[in-house]
Amino acid sequence: MVDYAFRLIVAIVLAGMIALPAAAQDRTLTLDEAIKLGIQNSKVLKLQQSKVDQAVAQYNQAKDRMLPTGNASFGYNRAEIPANMLSLGPKTSFNLPSGANAWLGIVSLNETIFAGGKLRYAQQSTDLLTRVARLDADKNKDEITYDVISEFYNLYKILQSKKVIEQNLSSIDQQIHQAQRFFDQGIVTKNDVLRFELQRANVQLNEIDLESNRKVMNYDLDIMLGLPETTNINIEQISEPSREVSPVSSYIDSALANRQEMKQLLLQSDIAETNIKSIRANQSPTLAASLGGYYVDIAANPLPQSGSYITPITAGVTLAWNFSSLWTNKNKISEAKIQKEQVNISQGITSDNIRKEVNQNYEGYTQALDKIKLLQTSIDQATENNNILESKYKSNVASATDRADAETLLYQAEINLELAKADAGLAYYTLLKSTGKLNK
């Protein structure tokens, strides 16, 4: 009975352990590590790679169509001839056999010598489409990289804000302790103590909101990086952007040279031109060569026997011309030219949009750097103001309200600076993305 109870307890404990949720794990990441994980585990990039592989397969098929075609067959036929007498006149007639066997083997090889370049244009077109697919993959890689950077910086902003809040709560606790001591000595009123306690409660409310946002952001980043969903991500300190800003024209030139959209439109223009040539090639004659070998055996036995089979070999050249294409192709060519013109117009539109995007991101980055300088000055002023009012409060010259307001201003300025630093870092990567050099 005791043994049964012991085993029952063990089973219950083990079941409880299995039912417990997986413990959260902490992991500290750098931005480079996060980007590497995001690219490595992206399902979107894996899907895009399969499209690239498909385009390569289609290109190889186009190359295969330029190779000779060959066929081989071997078959048996048995003919029964019930009416086997032929009469060619009143005095001429003969009897056919009542049955006959036939083995027929055929081997043929065909090669297109000239077809107006259609096969070559098909190969060029699929090659260009393969390069377009690779550019799509590069574009998706940039998008994934930027999404990871954006989520990383957003989480970093929350974590930095939480650090500032923790420091602020520690400082407020000291003020509460000091105000309580002054109250016990009769220097201040109970309202002074309550004022600092109210300040602490407001800061704690901000902390609750930040923690909720952190959990959501952390979970999203776990999914994006392919990490277990219970992983708590800690972020290495991100240095303040100190990159020198070049003239906006250099960023625009880089974007026009490196953006995948511009490269794709150049390839689309080449594809359209190749399509025009391919349609024109339909108006040309075609020249093909063929080589064939036959094995014809009239014996029932498929093995060759002397006198029962023949092996004719044929070789030929065929020249063909579908001259109706001279008047049926003209509208097809007109449509292909219109498509090429549309590509050229799209190039101009895309170029204008890229210029505007780069200029906007450039202004955003320079503004973010200016904001950091201004906020650093604000912190210096808020720190000095906080020190003055702290001294006045200790001397019972300033009120608790003035003291708490000064500390709140400093706390807010510190948070704003951390957020501005993160925003500047993200603005730099946004500018880099718009120049097409995010992963270069």
Same domain, 309 and 435: no
Same domain, 305 and 395: no
Same domain, 299 and 397: no
Classify residue 189: in a domain, yes or no.
no
Classify residue 30: in a domain, yes or no.
no
Same domain, 268 and 123: yes
Classify residue 4: in a domain, yes or no.
no
Classify residue 353: in a domain, yes or no.
yes
In tens digits, the chain (440 residues) has pLDDT values of 444 444 544 444 444 444 444 456 888 888 888 889 988 888 888 888 888 888 888 888 877 877 888 899 988 888 887 876 777 777 777 777 777 888 888 999 888 777 777 777 778 888 888 888 888 888 888 889 999 998 999 999 888 888 888 888 888 888 788 888 888 888 777 887 888 888 889 888 988 998 999 999 899 989 989 999 899 999 877 766 566 788 999 999 999 999 999 999 999 999 999 888 888 888 888 888 888 988 888 887 777 777 788 888 988 888 888 888 888 888 888 988 999 999 999 999 999 999 999 999 999 999 999 998 899 888 888 888 888 888 887 777 777 777 777 888 888 888 888 888 889 989 999 999 999 888 87
List the domain range (segments joined by +) for residue 149: 115-154+221-285+325-440
Alpha helices in 259-399 (DSSP H): 260-281, 325-328, 330-394
What span, in angstroms and rounded, lies between the C-alpha atoms of 30 and 238?
Answer: 8
Classify residue 200: in a domain, yes or no.
no
Counting the structural domains of the chain, the total is: 2
Residue where one domain finishes, among candidates 302, 320, 338: 320
Same domain, 393 and 339: yes
Note whether 146 and 428 are within 8 A (CB): no
Same domain, 337 and 429: yes
Classify residue 334: in a domain, yes or no.
yes
* Torsion, CA 425, CA 428, CA 432, CA 433, rounded to 10: 60
State the pairing for strand pair 85-87/99-114.
unpaired
Same domain, 137 and 272: yes
Same domain, 395 and 257: yes
Classify residue 416: in a domain, yes or no.
yes
Same domain, 135 and 124: yes
SS3 293: strand
Same domain, 351 and 431: yes
Classify residue 134: in a domain, yes or no.
yes
Same domain, 305 and 364: no
